[in-house]
Structure 1
Amino acid sequence: MFTEKLVARIIACPGPDYDQEIKLRNEILRRPLGMDLLNEDLSREVNDIHIGLFRGQELIGTLILTPGQGYTKMRQVAVAETARGINAGTQMVKFSEEVAREKGFSRIELNARQEAVNFYLKNGYTVVGDQFTEVGIPHFKMIKEL
């Protein structure tokens, strides 16, 4: 059992923590689909809010908030395999909601992979619309009013 405190904070993009973020996102979100994040155009990510969850200096979770008109889109949510089951995802999502509120957003939207829908439901998100396919796998659009 890990006793070291988990700390959520904004990640500077670019920077060394962003480099860790890219590695984690690629490992958790892209490689299992036979894709490579390093082959994607990430240049627009400089305009996003990058959030990381750290155990000491180790990045164990990450997500991105992409600003929209009155809302922000949560995307690229990834939690390291070694950090599953310790509420890392929930802690990171709650922190991102605080950041979104502070930035003046009234709603978070996201496209949840089918296997993540229950996680978001437990965190107060609502499914809107029908299932659709993104990056070759089933997703649902979900929202939460802040």
Structure 2
Amino acid sequence: MGKIVKFEYDNQELHKIAVDIRMEVFVDEQKVPAGIELEFEEDCTHFLIYYRRKAVGTARYRIVDDVIKFERFAFLKVARGKGLGRDIMRYMLNDVRPLKKRIMLNSQEYAVNFYKQAGFIICGSKFMEGGIPHYPMEYEAPDIMEKALGLAVCRR
């Protein structure tokens, strides 16, 4: 497992590293407009994951009313396929568990299976964002006890 660091927007050093990773992945590789990448930064809790002492991946979440939105999962090419996405997802799910709110995300079409393996299900129709097909997904708590506690159960 890579080392994971949680931080807030006001940590400008770590925030710059996270934004640089996202710019490389989303703007340079996927040609997403740069302005989209900087939306809601101040409202988010951010994460970096390190591999061999180098920051190679990032993600964030923000709370919008009664929903936690997982966003901006991005990994440098050298970090892909090493299980780091699973690691940061597990860390984030554990981090938000005490909040007992629904957890949602918008998955790029190619990444839907990754999120399904993490316990998310598609809960809406395909849509375009930044020129890329996405699906809305919601965390379906895999455990009856979690459901009893009111953690994210998809409303179909």
TM over 0.5: yes
* Cα 1:36–1:125 shift into 2, 3 Å: same
Query: How many residue pairs are counted as aligned between the two chains?
Result: 140
The offset of 1:65, in angstroms, is 0.2
Aligned alpha-carbon RMSD (Å): 1.9
Tell whether 2:18 aligns with 1:21: yes
Report what 1:53 is aligned to: 49
**TM value normalised by structure 1:** 0.85
Q: Separation in 2 of the partners of 1:61 and 1:8?
A: 9
* Pairing of 1:63-142 with structure 2 (within 5 A): 63-102=59-98, 104-142=99-137
Q: Give the letter for the 1:21 counterpart.
A: A
Aligned identity (percent) is 24
Unpaired segments ≥5 residues, structure 2: 141-150, 152-156
The equivalent of 1:10 in structure 2 is 6
Which consecutive segments of 4 or more residues in structure 1 shift more than 4 A? none
Q: 1:119 to 1:12 in 2, by over 3 A?
A: same
Tell me how far apart the structure 2 counterparts of residues 70 and 40 of structure 1 sit (CA, whole Å).
23
Please tell me the residue identity of whatever aligns with 1:18.
H
**Matches of 1:25 and 1:109 in 2, distance apart?**
20
Q: What displacement does 1:64 show?
A: 1.0
CA offsets per residue over residues 66-100 of structure 1, 9 Å max, x none? 11222210111101111111100000011111111
Give unpaired runs (5+ residues) of structure 1: none
Tell me the alpha carbon deviations over residues 20-50 of structure 1, each in whole angstroms, 9 at most, x when there is no partner: 101100000122243453x558374122100
Q: TM-score, normalised by structure 2?
A: 0.80
Code of the aligned partner of 2:103: I
Partner SS state of residue 86, structure 1: coil
